[in-house]
């Protein structure tokens, strides 16, 4: 965690963002929970417990700035914004498998775009996002069944 924190601090400094005690606490929270996406509302509640005078706007602005400089990843599930600490600060383009039971996030090591690009001759792809959902190995081994899950 110390290496990731020092890397994040270096990224903030490089992008001329001050390291405040609030940002430090936010980074530590995200690092502690980096194996899962966390609802932004949960992050906001945690930060406002640690810093009672902190506004909602400050929390959301910091998360947005962290996303802009590549420290935080964001996605939306059922219209709820969720964030997590960037899996790989050196290779930001990547994809995930997300367990629908426990919420564990596993980074995928390849991008499927070559497969799709080959099927779209003459087309220009401007961007993409790609996540797989299902059961992680631990949940599957514990006997969780796919039919027990809420479908995305």
Per-residue model confidence (pLDDT) at position 17 = 94
Per-residue model confidence (pLDDT) at position 3 = 66
What does 88-111 look like in DSSP terms, one character per residue? -TT----EEEEETTT-BEEEESS-
On whether 91 is known to bind a ligand per the annotation, the reply is: no
> pLDDT tens digit string along 38-58?
999 999 999 999 999 999 999
On whether 102 is known to bind a ligand per the annotation, the reply is: yes
On whether 87 is known to bind a ligand per the annotation, the reply is: no
> pLDDT tens digit string along 54-106?
999 999 999 999 999 989 888 887 788 888 888 665 556 677 788 888 888 88
* Residue ranges of domains in the chain, CATH in brackets: 2-85 (1.10.10.10), 95-148 (3.30.1490.190)
Cα dihedral 152/76/141/143 (nearest 10)? -40
Question: What integer best gives the mean pLDDT of the chain?
Answer: 84
């Amino acid at each position: 965690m110390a290496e990731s924190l020092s890397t994040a601090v270096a990224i903030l400094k490089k992008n001329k963002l001050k390291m405040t005690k609030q940002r430090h606490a936010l980074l530590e929270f995200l690092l502690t929970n980096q194996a899962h996406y966390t609802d932004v509302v949960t992050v906001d509640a945690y930060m406002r417990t640690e810093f009672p005078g902190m506004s909602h706007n400050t929390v959301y602005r910091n998360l947005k700035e962290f996303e802009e400089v590549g420290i935080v990843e964001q996605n939306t599930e059922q219209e709820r914004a969720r964030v997590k600490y960037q899996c790989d600060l050196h290779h930001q383009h990547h994809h995930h498998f997300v367990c629908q039971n426990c919420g564990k996030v596993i980074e995928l090591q390849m991008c499927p775009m070559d497969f799709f690009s080959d099927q779209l001759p003459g087309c220009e792809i401007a961007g993409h996002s790609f996540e797989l959902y299902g059961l992680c190995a631990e949940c599957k081994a514990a006997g969780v069944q796919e039919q027990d899950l809420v479908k995305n």
